[in-house]
Amino acid sequence: MDHKALAACMIDISSDIRRKSLNETGLPPISNGMLEILRVVESHPGITVAEVAARLGRQLSNVSSQLRELVAVGMVTRVKDATDKRYVSLHPTDESRRIKSLLEGSWADALNAASARLLPEEREQIAASLPALERLASFLAEPEQTPAPVVTAGVGTPPRDRSGTSPGALR
């Protein structure tokens, strides 16, 4: 499989679907970053800001800033824990669900219009690949796992010369 070609194709399809469908919905533009946050909050109600940032592999401060905007426009609510006021969970609103439904319908319409130009066999191939693509999407959506650092003696230290001192060291 040509992973590079697949990745480029998926990015192109995603960008073109968003561009074509946004005009159809009449919604104000929503940045990709904010849309990603909304999708995470909608699929994981009760998630925390730190968990959203980890899932998206983004800086906590950037996610927090975009969440403030989403809260301000009524698309996400913050709920403080009754027992621990420091713990705040995020929840989608009816408005965000309405917008998600509009967008997903518009995305489907854009795909339907474009796929109508494919050969029937090509549409069948795409339909048959959907379960595998959904699994692939679920793997890609998993939070990044950062491996534990490997400590190796001597890494990051200058090499020693035959006298046992580092080059440039005061003697």
Tokens of 95: 């408005």
Specify the range with the lowest mean pLDDT, choosing from 16-20, 38-42, 91-95, 120-124: 16-20
Nearest to 12 by CA among 157, 114, 120, 122: 114
- Write down the domain spans for the chain: 30-98
Q: What per-residue confidence (pLDDT) applies to 64?
A: 94
User: Helix, strand, or coil here: 90?
Assistant: strand
Q: What per-residue confidence (pLDDT) applies to 144?
A: 63
- Please say if the pLDDT value at position 99 is more than 70: yes
Q: What per-residue confidence (pLDDT) applies to 77?
A: 95
Q: Which fold has domain 30-98?
A: Arc Repressor Mutant, subunit A (1.10.10)
Bridge partner residues of 89 (DSSP): 79
What pTM does this model have?
0.69
Of 143 and 78, more confident: 78
Mean pLDDT of all residues in 152-171: 49
